[in-house]
Chains A and B, each alone.
Chain A
Amino acid sequence: MHTADMLKAFAPYREDAIIVPGRGGRYWIDLTTRPNLDVPLRDPAMGGHAGFALGLALGRPDKKVILFDSEGDILMSLGMLVTIAEQRPANFYHFLIDNGCYATTGGQPVPNADQIAYDVIARGAGYPRAFAFSELGQFSASLPDILNHPGPVFVAAKVVPEIENAPIGRRRRWQTRTRDQAIKDLRVGLGIG
């Protein structure tokens, strides 16, 4: 499955959820219909997207918060899974885009890329529900059930690596807003300050 196809399959179910697109941001920006409820931060500091999304979910329990995390980020913060499981935010939906490598630095594999089972780790950390998909059809068919039940839920999706080797300065600049502006826009969208 390709990341863009995975996000395309998810898009019809978004409703008014807050989306933290993580490293899926460069694809999500072409799919979103409610950019003011998106928080495309790219990479403020690696390993933190899950914490940011957890904070959002705890701060706004009335809104679904949907995170598209990456395995490189999760591996830097495995302990975050335990915190999320303990807090048990019913509005938190944790998707993992797992391409098995550090794609933006040339495609070097993450440690033990072929053996690791992120859904098992999430379940072991205490997530009440965790799934793993490697095929788009199965992923798409399961989305209504995943999203219609309360969180927290962990959904690992194995995707095809899309490796970037071009110098950073020559890569597509997909962001149309600064991080600061994205946060301001979300707060306005949520009726905060």
Chain B
Amino acid sequence: MNDAALVALSPETVLGEMKKNGVTHVVWLPDSETNWLYLLMKAEPSLRLVGVSREGHACSIAAGLWTGGAKPLILIQNTGMMESGDSLRGWLLGLNIPVVLLVGYRGWTRHGITQDTAATYTERFLMAFGINYYLVESDADAPRISIAFEEAERTKRPVVVLVGDEYHGFNR
């Protein structure tokens, strides 16, 4: 593993995790820095992108996709995740939907001091809802995405992957 893999999360790695886990649909709203990932997903024939205009919509769409036999992934930012509270409760937790949410961790600083309240409340929000989560900051952490997929399937619950680097500094 080279140094870059230890310090950055590449969009190719994230896409590889999606394909490895059989994702069929990505229900998403653009994150601050997801454009490289968007271009890759758009070019990937095995994925269908479902764009939403408000993150809560992603929960009911994902619930319908899973019920119909597809394998959705939700790709949003922590701000939108918090806005989605009632949809998370009703459409994912309430219906036992096994889905992974890849959530950009806006404001994450690693050292706990942040000026961004989006980061302040992210993990508290997940704990309040009893949703398990994993932190991914670099390619070296990427196997945790597969762990999240396995856990969602086994527990029939949503599982969150917090992307600590917020897709910043992709290798391009």
Contact = CB atoms under 8 A, between A and B. Distances in A.
Interface of A: 39, 41, 43-60, 77, 79-80, 82-83, 86-87, 179-180, 183, 186-187, 190, 192-193
Contacts of A48: 56-57, 59-60, 63, 87, 90-91
Contact of A187 (B57, B69, B72, B94): B69
B48 interface: yes
A38 B115 CA distance: 48
Given A46-B86, A193-B69, 4 more contacts: A45-B89, A52-B63, A59-B66, A183-B96
B68 A60 contact: yes
Nearest to A55: B64
Q: Is the interface of A mostly helix, strand, loop or mixed?
A: helix
Contacts of B61: 51-52, 54-55, 58, 83
Q: Which of A48, A82, A180 has the most CB atoms of chain B within a 10 A radius of its CB?
A: A48
Contact of B65 (A41, A55, A179): A55
A38 B139 CA distance: 43
Given A58-B25, A183-B95, A45 B50 contact: no
Contacts, number: 119
B54 A79 contact: yes
Interface residues on B, range: 20 to 34
Contacts of A47: 56, 60, 87
B67 interface: yes
A87 B63 contact: no
Given A45-B86, A52-B64, A180 B95 contact: yes
B56 to A, nearest CB: 7
A147 B66 CA distance: 25
Contacts of B69: 59-60, 187, 190, 192-193
A57 B70 CA distance: 10
Contacts of B62: 55
Q: 10 closest pairs, A vs B, by CB? A: A55-B64, A59-B68, A45-B90, A51-B60, A48-B60, A79-B53, A44-B90, A59-B70, A55-B65, A52-B64
A10 B68 CA distance: 23
A183 B95 CA distance: 8
B143 interface: no
Interface string B71-104: 0100000000000001101110011100000000
Contacts of B4: none
A149 B90 CA distance: 33
B51 interface: yes
B52 interface: yes
Contact of B54 (A53, A77, A186, A190): A77
A51 B67 contact: no
B68 A83 contact: no
